[in-house]
Structure formats: C-alpha cells, structure tokens
C-alpha cells in the first residue's frame, strides 16, 4: 500500500499514456504504458522500469494481479511475471482479461475462453470465438464478445446469444443487473428478463467497467465514475474527473488509477464518489 500520496505525485511519470494498473499483494503496483513497457512502483513511490522486457513491440491489453501473481494480457499471449522475468504460457493468442473463480484462473482470449487446470491451460469446448471479458456464477458463464453477450449454462450445457448492436468489452453485475461497456463507449444493461438496453452519457466514453467489493466503477474518457442504480435508472457518479482513466486497481484503503498524461492517481476509498450524472 502506498501511503505517501504527495511523494507519488512528485515521482509520478506524467506524460505517459498508462493503459493498465495492478496492485500486488506485497503492496507494490505495476503499470503499463504505451511504447514504454511496464513499470513497478514500490512502497516508497519510486518508479522503476522492469528490466525483463516482453517481446519487442508487444501491446499490453491489461495487467492482472490474481492469486498472488502478476500477469500481462497482451496481443502476443499471456505472460506471467517471475523473479527472473516474464514467462510465456501456453496461450499465445491475444489475451484481454484474466479472472479467478473458485481457485481456477480463466482467460478471455482471441481464441475463446481458457482455464488453468493442474498448471496446464485448456480451452473450453463451448467458446471458440474471441472473448473480451467474462462474469461467472455457479451455473452461468457470461462472455463479452464482438457481437454482444454470450451465455453458457453449465448445468444444462445450453447457450444463448444476446446481440446488442456492438461489441462488448467488459462485464460486471450491479444489484443483479448484468452490465457491460460496448465498443462505442456506452453502458449496456440487462433488464433481468433477457433484454439489454444501451445507455449513452453525453461527452463520456466508457472504456471499461471494474468491480471493487460491491461497487462498480466506470473508467472513462473524462475520469472515474461509480455506477449507481437509483429510481429505475443507471447513473454515473463522478469520483475524479478532468482526464482519461484507463484502469483502476484497489487494496483495502485506496483506489489506484492509471491515466493518460496524469500518471498514477490515488483515491482513498472512503471518498470514492461525490457527485452524479444521469
């Protein structure tokens, strides 16, 4: 955990296009930047570029901290950070998201949904198209795909596709409503009856949706917003605005925001929403 916020601001890498951030269990942060590689930020807020680089020219789609490990989802596959550098995995197709459920790691890739079993990566038989994100319940797996949202029922082995008129890049659930960010920057929301509605917020493009212990945050072109459901409508409640926020990670005390041109920002969780927009 970083406690000296002013020190982080002094040593921050302003001017970088940060695309993702991950918070490790040891309190250190990891951030990826366009054309600059991956940085580690220690507990004193000191930045250092990881000496062990990924393949030249690789695009990092997302950094993930899961099960005490750091992963990089890239256009050239999934990589895992070890003491001696980045290790390749069996997954060599584009990767977009890694999730942990019931002690099992799942990866959304350009070649379907994969999971790790006994240290081996296996592709699921029910998903061969590109998957950008997933949300799981004991029975259902919801997948964000280029045509909308794909549902697979693990009990009945049946599936259903919900087309929303655009690709969907991320998924989460708020008060039982399935939410997604579409390829046009809009919020897609289910109605619990098998239908999905698109919500546009003027001047705001949603990059992704992130879940933080019951709260849902939208990383957008204007800042970080909390998604609220009030009086039968979904609202965006601003947490911090004025610059693009591309990703958010968290620990028990803070939210950590990766941004364009503003470095990493820290937002204490006790004040993570202040005003709203419909």
Q: What is the C-alpha separation between 222 and 257, in angstroms, rounded?
A: 13
Q: What is the C-alpha separation between 278 and 268, in angstroms, rounded?
A: 24
Position 50 pLDDT exceeds 80: yes
pLDDT at 56: 83
Q: What is the C-alpha separation between 170 and 188, in angstroms, rounded?
A: 10
Position 55 pLDDT exceeds 80: yes
Q: What is the C-alpha separation between 162 and 165, in angstroms, rounded?
A: 9
Q: Are 67 and 79 in contact (CB under 8 A)?
A: no
Position 85 pLDDT exceeds 60: yes
Q: Which residue is it, tokens 């029910």?
A: 126
pLDDT tens for each residue of 207-231:
999 999 889 999 999 999 999 999 9
Q: Are 93 and 105 in contact (CB under 8 A)?
A: no
Q: Which residues pair with 117 in a beta bridge?
A: 120
Q: What is the C-alpha separation between 178 and 173, in angstroms, rounded?
A: 5
Q: What is the C-alpha separation between 248 and 199, in angstroms, rounded?
A: 22
Q: Are 180 and 209 in contact (CB under 8 A)?
A: yes
Residue 158's pLDDT band, with cuts at 50, 70 and 90, is very high
Q: Which residue is it, tokens 């695309």?
A: 19
Q: Are 199 and 236 in contact (CB under 8 A)?
A: no
Q: 83, exposed or middle or buried, with CB in 10 Å at 0-12, 13-18, 19+?
A: exposed
pLDDT tens for each residue of 89-109:
999 999 999 999 988 999 999
Side-chain-facing half-sphere of 274: CA atoms under 13 Å: 11
3-state secondary structure of 91: coil
Q: Are 70 and 64 in contact (CB under 8 A)?
A: yes
Provide the token pair at 274. 């202040």
Beta strands in 175-277 (DSSP E): 177-182, 187-190, 196-199, 206-212, 215-220, 223-230, 233-241, 245-250, 254-259, 264-268, 275-277
pLDDT, greater one: 160 or 11: 160
pLDDT tens for each residue of 247-278:
999 998 899 999 999 999 999 987 554 445 54
Residue 1's pLDDT band, with cuts at 50, 70 and 90, is low
Which of 239, 264, 267 lies closest to 253, judged by CA?
Answer: 267
Side-chain-facing half-sphere of 126: CA atoms under 13 Å: 17
pLDDT at 167: 96
What pTM was computed for the model? Answer: 0.90
The C-alpha angle 5, 8, 11, rounded to 5 degrees, equals 155
Q: What percent of the chain has pLDDT over 90?
A: 72
Q: What is the C-alpha separation between 169 and 22, in angstroms, rounded?
A: 18
């Amino acid at each position: 955990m970083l406690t000296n916020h002013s020190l982080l601001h002094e040593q921050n890498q302003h001017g970088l296009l940060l695309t993702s951030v991950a918070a490790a269990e040891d309190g250190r942060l990891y951030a990826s930047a366009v054309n600059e590689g991956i940085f580690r930020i220690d507990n004193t807020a000191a930045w250092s570029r990881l000496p062990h680089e990924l393949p030249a020219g690789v695009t990092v789609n997302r950094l993930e901290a899961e099960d005490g490990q750091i992963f990089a989802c890239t256009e050239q596959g999934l990589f895992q950070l070890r003491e001696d550098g980045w290790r390749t995995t069996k997954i060599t197709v584009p990767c977009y998201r890694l999730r942990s459920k019931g002690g099992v790691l799942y990866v959304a890739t350009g070649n379907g949904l994969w999971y790790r079993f006994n240290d081996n990566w296996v592709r699921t038989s029910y998903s061969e198209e590109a998957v950008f994100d997933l949300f799981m319940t004991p029975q259902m797996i919801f997948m964000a795909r280029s045509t909308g949202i794909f549902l697979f029922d693990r009990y009945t082995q049946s599936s259903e596709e919900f087309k929303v008129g655009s690709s969907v890049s991320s998924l989460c659930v708020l008060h039982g409503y399935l939410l997604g960010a579409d390829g046009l920057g809009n919020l897609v929301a289910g109605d619990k009856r098998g239908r999905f509605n698109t919500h546009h917020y003027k001047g705001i493009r949603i990059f992704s949706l992130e879940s933080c212990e019951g709260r849902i945050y939208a990383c957008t072109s204007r800042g970080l917003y909390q998604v609220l459901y009030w009086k039968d409508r979904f609202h965006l409640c601003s947490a911090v605005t004025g610059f693009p926020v591309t990703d958010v990670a968290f620990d028990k005390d803070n939210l950590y925001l990766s941004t364009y041109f503003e470095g990493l920002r820290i937002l204490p969780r006790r004040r993570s929403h202040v005003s709203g927009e419909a």
